[in-house]
Structure 1
Amino acid sequence: MPFYWEVNEMVSILVFLVGVIVILKRGKFFLHMLQIEGYKNKQFIKWMNSSSRVYPRKVRVSVSVLTFFTAVYIFLSIFLKNNYLLYGYLVIWIIFMDYSVQWKEEEVKKELVFTKRAMRLYVSLIFVDLIEIGIILAVFFMTVNNRQYYFPIILFAETLIYYFQPLNIILGNMIVEPIEIKINRHFYLKAQAKIKSLKNLTSIGITGSFGKTSTKFIVATILEKKFKTLNTPESYNTAMGISKVINNDLNEDYEIFVAEMGARNIGDIKELTELVHPKIGIITSIGETHLETFLNLENIMKTKYELIEGLPADGVAIFNYDNEYVRKLADKTFKEKLLYGLGDSEKLDLYATDIEISELGSSFNINDKDGNKIRCTTKLLGKHNIYNILAGVAVGRVLGLSFEEIRDRIEEIQPVPHRLNIITPSTGIIIIDDAFNSNPIGAKAALDVISQFKEGKKIIVTPGMVELGEREEAANKEFGTQIGKVCDYVILVGEKRTEPIYRGLMEFGYTKENIFVVNDLNEATDQIQKIVKPKDIVLFENDLPDNYNE
């Protein structure tokens, strides 16, 4: 008998440790999702309420089956106590827990980055899990006599902790939040002080519903030959991201600092303006993005204008005057301002004319209100990029660059990855990658670009647009109608999510046989290979972040 007890104890401990491993594995997934949501519990809870990945079918089935078998085991163990019953339960538990766990790492667009903050949060999650396990063990050892045979109760408790990991990550985040606020404030104030100490530095802030990142790189390219210029990398546009760049990379050698400023809530741009202290502020556009948090366009306008309000008395505001919402903000601004666009040239300080757009880029004249004019060419695709270039030209003129200097730099501007850049593999198929964060205006611009191609079939691959709040369904339906006017084949990624696009295509009268609905990009690639030929154009329009699914 002692031998059996010893074996039982060893097996129980091993199975218990397996339970700890699967709990941590599931917790890591939710850490990733919370990181994508900017460590904001409110946003994470919204994601939880809308995503089937929180409690997938395999997890729900496994927990339901184990609940049943645990109840059966407890009932039978009242009358029957032997190792076969215990081992039978352990085998069933291992089988269903193994079935529920996604052991193979999924392909993701944005990997979980174990930053110091992520590590602190993961430790906090483990602390919450261990406290719960500790409480369960304490109660178990205080109340249960025959612990060997009733050990499955501990395993079932682990199963519940495993199941409720999304709630535990929220609790873990709440625990570390005061620490994170203190740490973030420290780095923010350090960066703010550093900016203030650099007397020869001119900071430039760029915000807008779309076009921020492209405009940032365009501005930096135009300025970097004459000035030592630093810009925030990739899509770094939050207080912590910009603070990191300032603290780690900015020094007294730099003359220009170009900061992209993103926002999801009122007050976000004000916080960034107080950090960066820009002397030049650009509003590229205002439209229907992040409506889930902003709720309406008025709140978006108010937030973007925080940049202009934060400029010093001798600062310069630069506006895309063709955008109707930006125009309203420009008209109420009494600071020095420059207006750019393609429309009413009489009111503009800078404007483009004689535009020629092709699949290779664009040629156009840049004009100013004093009658100066110069012909420019760019490799960037689409009419919308001319607006972004005009914003860069405006900054160049404010800082004393001649039209000739600006023209030479425009020719050097390179496409930003995943924003309408052409990939031409050896197959002869033209791929246009516009996979970054699609919005109604950007999607229309992408369709305008592929309409310029004269040869080959036009194929679009898209999961639709997100983060448009109540406007999302209507915007995607309209997108479907626009697709119908341009594309020969449509590959929709995700049946449920793309249903509004499908309806828009049908109302347009699109050929049903030319629409293919797939579950993921791998299936989309397989479908492309069946229909594509050399000289065909494939547009990848938007690639949903990892926290989105059917």
Structure 2
Amino acid sequence: MLINALYFINSLLFNFCISFYLISALQWYSYKLNRIVFHYHKPLWHLYFLLCPYLMFLAFPLYSLIYFIILAPILYFWNKSIDKKLIFTSKVKWFFVFVFVYNTLFAILALRFSFLFNLCTLVLALLSLKIYDLFSKIYYKKQAKSKLNRLSNLKIILITASFGKTSIKNFLYELLKDDFKVYKTPRSVNTLMGIVADINNNLNEQTQIYIAEAGARLKGDIDEITRFLEPQICIVGEIGNAHLEYFKSVDNIRQTKLEALNSKRLEKAFLHTSTLKKEDEIITLYDDKISNIDSNLEGLNFEISFKQELHTFKSQILGEFNAQNLCVCILCAHYLGINFESIKKNILNIKSVEHRLQIISKEPKFIIDDGFNGNFKGMSASYHLCKLYQGRKVLVSPGIIEVSKEENIKLAQIINDCFDLAIITANVNAEIFEKELSIKKIILKEKSELVNTLAKETKNGDLILFSNDAPSFM
């Protein structure tokens, strides 16, 4: 009996350790198993936390407690060091329930037949999680769709783009909130099930306008969201090579983003010229209506041409590229009945979206947080903006994630022209920047070193730009 209990405890602790690492990795990559197999940024972690433990278990099944004594502290300190820790959602909790159930079952079978049965625990737990996820999605989607059907007067605005989605969503909300009861998806929620959960949990039945953001990693992702929401207004922002690793070509990205036009209830669409669509009664191309953009560290001025009239707008928002983001919001707000004079007043009061060219402080160090800006065009524009600063300029960045090598090489050339010091915070592009940067550079081995590095290497009067952000698993 004691041996049986010991074997059960051994196998349970072993499986819980493995499961903790695996479900953390899955959560980072949106629970896509193929992504943690083929697109994982720290493959050596698989060796440390999956392969080696399994080999140890196969070699010493009755003594795996010894390995647990070693592995558990390593996992503890590993989890403490990473910045995206496991969130214990109901999905994660069910996964551990499945692990416990199958571990109990296979521990019994292992005593009668072979300890190799225990190796099935994780596989069946993942399969059960997939089945649970499938039925959960059906139930919650049906619940959310029923709620939308009840809100017959609700106007839905769907926003998608390669970059700038969240900024457009937040700017548009600020322009509409005084005239309508408006609700927007929180933070960067942009997947179908994220939107479904938001509708079920947060959408008030008095809402007049619902603004939703749609992201994609595969063809059909935007179409799935579009057919579920059936928005009356769609905004398709600039098309670029964000997530090129998954889509393989910019044309594939473009076709996926244009799935937003598949709505049966589509009344109006505001599109960037990079969509390669032409204007008609429904489609308005917005970025070619902007002119005379003046961007500096104090804000942004620009003009919009509308029905052969020029309208001038001023904003405290930083970044030349934000003129486009603001422009589409202005045109959309005007389409919904708000006059230009009211919009001009509201534009003046809009503040930077959090982590998007957000000024944190001007003294003693000029600190700008642009951590959510992760595309070449936006990042390079922010670098040229920083070049206007008269003092020493410091960049903190991992570079661009999930794009071709050439994009980061081009970015390095701009960094050389605009900054005095570059601190590279992720391994994913370290080799490129080591070779391409000619200015003083510091490439961190661990992101946790950043605070001490900034204290040591920067001084009062410096401008420090935090550009893009990569989690420590990259």
1:452 aligned to which of 376, 388, 398:
388
* Matched-pair identity in %: 27
In the alignment, structure 1 residue 538 sits paired with structure 2 residue 464: yes
1:90 is displaced (CA, Å) by 8.8
* Cα distance, 1:235 vs structure 2: 0.7
Q: Is residue 24 from structure 1 mapped to residue 16 from structure 2 by the alignment?
A: yes
Write out per-residue CA displacement over residues 65-99 of structure 1, whole angstroms, 9 at most, x where no aligned residue. 7877x59xxxxxxxxxxxxxx9xx79965664556
Counterpart mapping for 1:77-476 below 5 A = 96-97=70-71, 101-102=75-76, 105-139=79-113, 169=122, 171-310=124-263, 312=265, 315-321=267-273, 325-326=274-275, 328=276, 330-331=277-278, 334-341=280-287, 348=288, 350-353=289-292, 355-374=293-312, 376-424=313-361, 428-436=364-372, 438-454=374-390, 456-468=391-403, 471=404, 473-476=405-408
Q: Could you say if the C-alpha distance between residues 293 and 119 of structure 1 is closer, same or farther in structure 2, counting changes exceeding 3 Å?
A: same
Whole-angstrom distance in 2 between the partners of 1:309 and 1:92: 57
| Cα separation, 1, equivalents of 2:227 and 2:463 | 45
> CA separation of 1:181/1:428 partners in 2, compared to 1, >3 Å: closer, same or farther?
same
Find the residue that maps to 1:52 and give its secondary structure.
helix
Q: Deviations over 1:319-376 (max 9, x none)?
A: 123xxx32x1x22x644222222xxxxxx4x4242x32221221233332331423x3
Q: Distance in 1 between matches of 2:300 and 2:204?
A: 36
Highest CA radius of gyration, 1 or 2? 1
**1:170 offset after TM fit, Å?**
5.5
What is the match of residue 497 of structure 1?
429
CA contact (8 A) 1:478 1:504 kept: no
The CA RMSD measured in Å over matched residues stands at 3.0
- In structure 2, list runs of 5 or more residues that go unmatched: none
The answer to whether the aligner puts 1:529 opposite 2:458 as a matched pair is no
Counterparts in 2 of 1:497 and 1:22: CA distance versus 1, 3 Å: farther
TM-score, normalised to structure 1, is 0.78
Identify the range of structure 1 (251-260 vs 303-312) with the bigger mean alpha-carbon deviation.
303-312
Query: In the TM superposition, what whole-angstrom CA distance separates every residue of 1:499-531 from its partner, at most 9, and x where no partner exists?
Result: 1122222xxxx14xx111111233232222222
Residues 382 and 449 of structure 1 are in contact (CA less than 8 Å); yes or no, is this contact kept in structure 2? yes
2:356 counterpart SS class: coil
Given that residues 41 and 173 in structure 1 are in contact (C-alpha distance below 8 angstroms), is that contact kept between their aligned partners in structure 2? no
The range that moved more, 233-242 or 532-541, is 532-541
What is the DSSP-based 3-state SS (H/G/I as helix, E as strand, rest coil) of the residue aligned with 2:200? helix
Cα shift readout 1:400-458 (whole Å, capped 9, x = no counterpart): 11111111111222222222212117x6112222222612222212212312322x211
Amino acid at match of 1:187: Y
Q: Secondary structure of the equivalent of 1:237?
A: coil
**Cα deviation, residue 117, structure 1:** 2.0
Counterpart of 1:462 in structure 2: which amino acid? Answer: S
5+ long unaligned stretches in structure 1 = 1-5, 72-85, 141-153, 162-166, 342-347
1:37 match: 29
Once residues 104 and 301 of structure 1 are traced to their aligned partners in structure 2, the CA distance between those partners, rounded to angstroms, is 39
Counterpart of 1:27, as a letter, is: S
1:203 match: secondary structure: strand
Question: Are 2:286 and 2:328, in contact at CA under 8 Å, matched by a contact in 1?
Answer: yes
Q: Does the CA-based 8 Å contact 1:479-1:501 persist in structure 2?
A: no
Say if 1:235 and 1:66 are closer, same or farther in 2 by CA, change over 3 A: closer
Separation in 2 of the partners of 1:169 and 1:301? 38
Distance 1:534 1:461, change over 3 A: same
State the SS of the aligned residue for 2:26: helix
8 Å contact from structure 2 (residues 373, 379) kept in 1: no
Tell me the SS of whatever aligns to 2:113.
helix
- For 1:49 and 1:483, locate their aligned partners in 2 and report how far apart those are by CA, in whole Å: 24
State the number of aligned residues.
474
Following the alignment from structure 2 to structure 1, what is the Cα–Cα distance between the partners of residues 430 and 335? 45
Letter in 1 for 2:246: T
| Cα displacement string for residues 141-175 of structure 1 (whole angstroms, at most 9, x for unaligned residues) | xxxxxxxxxxxxx7xx79x95xxxxx965542322
Aligned equivalents of 2:352, 2:108: Cα separation in 1: 55
Distance (whole Å) between structure 2 residues aligned to residue 53 and residue 207 of structure 1: 34
Kept in 1, the 8 Å contact 2:366–2:461? The answer is yes
Instruction: For 2:430, give the aligned amino acid.
Output: T
**2:294 partner SS:** strand
SS in 2 for 1:282: strand
Match of 1:517 in 2: 443
Q: Match of 1:252, as an amino acid?
A: E
